[in-house]
Amino acid sequence: MIKNISLDRMREYSHCTDFVLKERLQPEYVYSYWMSLILIVSRSLRLTFKTHYLTTTASFLTHQLVKGGELVSQRQAIDFMKEYCNLTAGGIKRVLEFVGYPAGISLPVSCRGFDDIFYPKPSNSLGKEAAWDLIVGDKNVTCSVTVEIFDTTELAKIVDVKLDDPALFKSGSVEFL
């Protein structure tokens, strides 16, 4: 679900519909130079969604969004990736609320990708990490998510729900300022 939401949001927000999703089989410590992240939290669950990217990729994606072919600054490119995290987290929260599971979202944060070594990987048996690449041409954004489950009985209702409503995964239009 999270992978599909991330792909849908990237295609829609960047105006690049040619993105493809490629699985990563082995998580790494550092994926790229920059990282943006956001938390989705509730009483029984914590998701950390991260994007890992180069400035050139973020600039390319931001350039696709702004009209008139104008140049974009590094700050605008990083803001683009933070807003992408925000939109993806909003999609995840929407699904959680659809199944009756309230969650909150933090503000997105950007930092160097190398700072990822300071974020502990889940050490409990109920924690999982996954990573995947969103690729268009020679550009690549790596997305990763760390899922930590604190109460399995509360989350049982999510597993049994069929999420086949296509409107659930669509977002509204977004204007980049």
User: Out of 19-23, 51-55, 97-101, 164-168, which region has the weakest mean confidence (pLDDT)?
Assistant: 164-168
Q: Which two tokens stand for residue 120?
A: 């502990």
Q: Residue 128's beta-bridge partner residues? A: 147
What is the rounded distance in angstroms from the CA atom of residue 46 to the CA atom of residue 11? 26
What is the rounded distance in angstroms from the CA atom of residue 107 to the CA atom of residue 53? 19
Q: How far is CA 107 from CA 19, 63, 102, 127, 159, in A?
A: 25, 23, 17, 22, 27
Q: How confident is the model at residue 167 (pLDDT cuts 50, 70, 90)?
A: low
Q: How confident is the model at residue 39 (pLDDT cuts 50, 70, 90)?
A: very high
Task: Give the chain's domains with CATH numbers.
Answer: 2-151 (3.40.1550.10)
List pLDDT tens digits, range 65-102. 776 566 788 899 999 999 999 999 999 999 888 888 88
